[in-house]
């Protein structure tokens, strides 16, 4: 898939649901002792890297916040009111449910 594909809302929804399932399968299958393991990948420029799994996951979380801010800024600049996307708000509203490990 291209880095910036031209997708309509239905295509975005379909991809979002697929990604949600891919992430669920990956994370539930990842043993706790593997978070510091290296993972090799190629970025969008074709450059090869190796990073720890935990660093890649942290990047994904932080980078998504960056893009939510960009979207909110664009919506405000166009006179709109952006969605409330704070993580704690989503948890309080039940949009996100996290399971804590029981010891």
pLDDT in single tens digits along all 103 residues of the chain: 678 889 999 999 999 999 999 999 999 999 999 999 999 999 888 999 999 999 999 999 899 899 999 999 999 999 999 998 888 988 999 988 877 655 4
Tokens representing 80 are 């709109």
- Residue 71: phi, psi to the nearest 5? -65, -45
Helix (H, G, I), strand (E, B) or coil at 42: strand
Q: pLDDT at position 51, please?
A: 97
Q: Are 51 and 10 in contact (CB under 8 A)?
A: no
Could you give the count of Cα atoms lying within 13 Å of 87 in the half-sphere of its Cβ?
Answer: 6
> What is the reported pTM?
0.72
């Amino acid at each position: 898939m291209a880095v910036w594909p031209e997708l309509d809302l239905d295509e975005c929804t379909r991809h979002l649901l697929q990604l949600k399932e891919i992430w669920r399968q990956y994370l539930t299958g990842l043993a706790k002792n593997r978070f510091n393991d290296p993972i090799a990948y190629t970025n969008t420029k074709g450059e090869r890297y190796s990073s720890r799994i935990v660093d890649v996951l942290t990047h994904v979380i932080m980078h998504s916040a960056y893009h939510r801010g960009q979207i909110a800024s664009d919506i405000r600049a166009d006179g709109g009111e952006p969605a409330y996307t704070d993580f704690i708000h989503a948890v309080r509203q039940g949009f996100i449910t996290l399971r804590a490990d029981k010891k």
